[in-house]
């Protein structure tokens, strides 16, 4: 099944378009194929991991290694490529801030933001 992501026309001309599409498709596939992705993970106890670190370091280049303790997953060992992919996806994550924790630059950007001129009557509501 071909899954396409609709990208707003404003983004079509930017180089960001492909990255956003890839991130959304990766995310959708991860949710849709959660069991399949889980099947690719190698599970190992913490004791086994410590004893055979070199082996699992190599294994992590092919698939993430889940480290368990007392039957619970306590962490993952990833390849640099997988970690970079995780960091790239985190960059697209939605951020939420409490008002008192809002960074100054974001506060200024919000206060100086203006809508399209045809919505000026709404800008006046922000100034009140």
pLDDT at 5: 45
pLDDT tens string, the chain, 128 residues long: the values are 444 445 445 444 444 444 444 554 554 445 444 444 556 889 999 999 999 999 999 999 999 999 999 999 999 999 999 999 989 888 877 777 788 888 888 888 888 887 788 888 887 787 76
Cβ contacts of 123 within 8 Å, gap of 6 or more = 114, 115
pLDDT at 128: 66
Q: What angle do CA 11, 84, 47 make, to 5 degrees?
A: 150
Q: What is the Cα 21 distance to its own chain's centre?
A: 13
For 34, the token pair is: 């959660």
pLDDT at 46: 95
pLDDT at 95: 73
Could you tell me if 5 and 21 are in contact, meaning their C-beta atoms sit under 8 angstroms apart? yes
């Amino acid at each position: 099944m071909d899954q396409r992501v609709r990208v707003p026309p404003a983004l079509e001309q930017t180089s960001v378009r492909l990255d956003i599409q890839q991130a959304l498709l990766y995310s959708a596939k991860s949710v849709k194929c959660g069991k399949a992705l889980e099947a690719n993970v190698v599970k190992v106890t913490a004791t086994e991991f410590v004893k055979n670190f070199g082996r699992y370091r190599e294994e992590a280049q092919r698939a993430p290694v889940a480290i368990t303790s007392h039957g619970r997953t306590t962490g993952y060992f990833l390849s640099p490529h997988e970690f970079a992919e995780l960091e790239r996806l985190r960059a697209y994550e939605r951020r939420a801030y409490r008002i008192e924790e809002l960074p100054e630059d974001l506060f200024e950007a919000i206060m100086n933001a203006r809508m399209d001129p045809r919505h000026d009557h709404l800008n006046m509501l922000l100034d009140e």
